[in-house]
Chains A and B, each alone.
Chain A
């Protein structure tokens, strides 16, 4: 019988799925809050995203976790789809494309972790 190589896809597929679900549940509301409601002063109270409030949120254990999950998982979700789309459009860039896609999500994850640890608890 042919010997088969086990695929490492479960790691990336798992992150893709988690990010997909998180962005499907909260993505539209988040974009509305941070990109439209707050800048335009709609609906939400004045100073919803003021520096003291956001700093406190990023220092809070739950807030920290939420920010980290949103940024990191959204990235892993997106790069996984982009990597597959490259293949689908006939760009079989192989290892280079893989490194660029998943590498950028990895870098984004590390940066957000460093900043979130840096702002203290």
Chain B
């Protein structure tokens, strides 16, 4: 059997009941080549400090719970492997730009409110009765929004977005991708209602096309594209509202 390898994991710790500010602690963790960074955190919790707090669930990049800054990059810790950093130290920190609740757990309440605010459900373009049958959608129409359905709400894109860090009221990449998913659905007629948010001061114009959100997205949703397409839509709405008296914000 080969010799046991160790890696140093530096964790940004924060205990709200006793700490004024976060501080770093370093742990020397034995690891095997199949171990993820999440498993490294679990090893620390089981063997060094049971109070270490982090979110996780599925361990297979589906639930979107285990996002953290790994060496400064927002990543899902379950699909990031310790072996790729060895022999260098790994630094883990709660997702950037969010308030830290405790250790690696961030306060997501602002994000949840944003998700609600985009009206993430189909607002039927035209009401159909049961005997009129189902809403028909062609494969090409499905392709218009398919990519934007893949979001798992992991919020890595928010941790990648400096504009969100600078202005926490910015609706942000993830919620905009979800909004766009419904706007692009041929069965939906809610784009006009959602425009009030898109075109508002909290809306898409906070984005300066950094593009890092799409770079870190583990599901290739391309939220930057959703945000930027809606800049064009909001600009059209801004100028064309003088021609048609309905829709948009006040």
Contact = CB atoms under 8 A, between A and B. Distances in A.
A21 to B, nearest CB: 13
A6 B205 CA distance: 11
B250 A7 contact: no
Interface stretch (B8-16, B73-81, B231-239): B231-239
B52 interface: no
Interface size class on chain B is 20 to 34
Interface size class on chain A is 10 to 19
A47 interface: no
Given A6-B200, A10-B239, A87-B166, 18 more contacts: A2-B117, A4-B197, A4-B200, A4-B201, A5-B200, A5-B201, A5-B249, A5-B250, A6-B201, A6-B248, A10-B199, A10-B235, A10-B238, A11-B238, A13-B205, A13-B231, A88-B162, A88-B166
A84 interface: yes
Given A3-B250, A4-B249, A5-B249, A14 B199 contact: no
Contacts of A5: 200-201, 249-250
B215 interface: no
Nearest to A8: B238
A25 interface: no
A84 B208 contact: yes
B196 A4 contact: yes
Contact of A6 (B166, B199, B208): B199
Contacts of B231: 13
Interface of A: 2-7, 9-11, 13-14, 84, 87-88
Interface string B198-210: 0111110100100
B42 to A, nearest CB: 37
Nearest to B199: A6
29 contacts: A2-B117, A4-B197, A4-B200, A4-B201, A4-B202, A4-B203, A4-B249, A5-B200, A5-B249, A5-B250, A6-B196, A6-B201, A6-B238, A6-B248, A7-B199, A7-B200, A7-B201, A7-B203, A7-B205, A9-B205, A10-B234, A10-B235, A10-B238, A11-B238, A13-B205, A13-B235, A84-B208, A87-B166, A88-B208
A6 B197 CA distance: 8
A11 B76 CA distance: 39
Nearest to B210: A88
Contacts of A6: 196, 199-201, 238, 248-250
Contacts of A13: 205, 231, 235
Contacts of B239: 10
A3, A10, A13 — most chain B CB neighbours (10 Å): A10
Contacts of B249: 4-6
Contacts of A7: 199-201, 203, 205, 234
